[in-house]
Amino acid sequence: MWAGEMVKRQKRVGVIEGRAPRGRRPGEAHQPVRLRRRVGHTERAAVGEVRRELREFLRHLCGTEQIEAAELLLSELVTNALIHTRHGAVVTATAMPGALRVEVQDFEADLPAPYVPNADDGTHGRGLILVRSLADAWGVEARVLGKVVWFELRGGGA
C-alpha cells in the first residue's frame, strides 16, 4: 500500500494497533493498545467522529468517568488544532496498564500561548484550562513537523 493510500485510509477509519486485552493469557505482558486517526483541516465534523471512535476504543478498557473526561479533552485539543492550524491533525490514543495517553499532533510550529479568558469571551479560550484541570498530566512537545499537545488520565487503560 502506498503512503498516500494509507493516509486516505486513516482519514476514513481509525487504525487500532496492538492487541486487545480480551485475548491475553495469564502471565502475558500487557501490550499498549493504540488508536490513530488523521483529521483534515476542513473536517470540523470529524471532531464528533473522533470522539465516537475514542469512546468505542475505550469501551472495554476504562470506566465511564475516564471515557467521558477523555472525550471532552480530546474534543478541546482537536478543535484547537483545526481552528488554529492549516494542515489538520493526527490523533493518537494509547491505552496502557493503568493509564491513557492521548496526543494531538498538528503541523504548525507555534506553541500555544497561555491565555486567560475574560467574561466577554463566551466559550473562547477555555480548552487548555479544561485540560489542565481534568488531566492527571498534560503538556506540549515541539516536533520536527509541528507539535504534539497531549494529556494523560490514570486509573484505566489496557
How much is the pTM? 0.74
* 80 touches 121 (CB < 8 A): no
Helices (H) and strands (E) in the chain, counts: 4, 6
Rounded CA-CA distance 126/76 in Å is 9
Check: CB of residue 39 under 8 Å from CB of residue 90: yes
Report yes or no: 77 and 149 within 8 Å, Cβ to Cβ: yes
Q: Which residue's entry shows cell 493509564?
A: 99
Q: What is the pLDDT of residue 115?
A: 54
Counting beta carbons within 10 angstroms of the beta carbon of residue 64, is it exposed (0 to 12), middle (13 to 18) or buried (19 or more)? exposed
Q: What is the pLDDT of residue 2?
A: 39
Tens of each residue's pLDDT in the chain, 158 residues: 334 433 333 343 444 444 444 444 444 446 789 999 999 877 778 899 999 999 999 998 888 999 999 999 999 999 988 888 888 899 999 999 889 999 999 998 877 665 555 555 555 556 788 899 999 999 999 998 899 999 999 986 66
Query: What whole-number distance in Å separates Cα of residue 150 and Cα of residue 65?
Result: 19
Residue 99 DSSP SS3 = strand
Give the three cell numbers for residue 141: 512537545
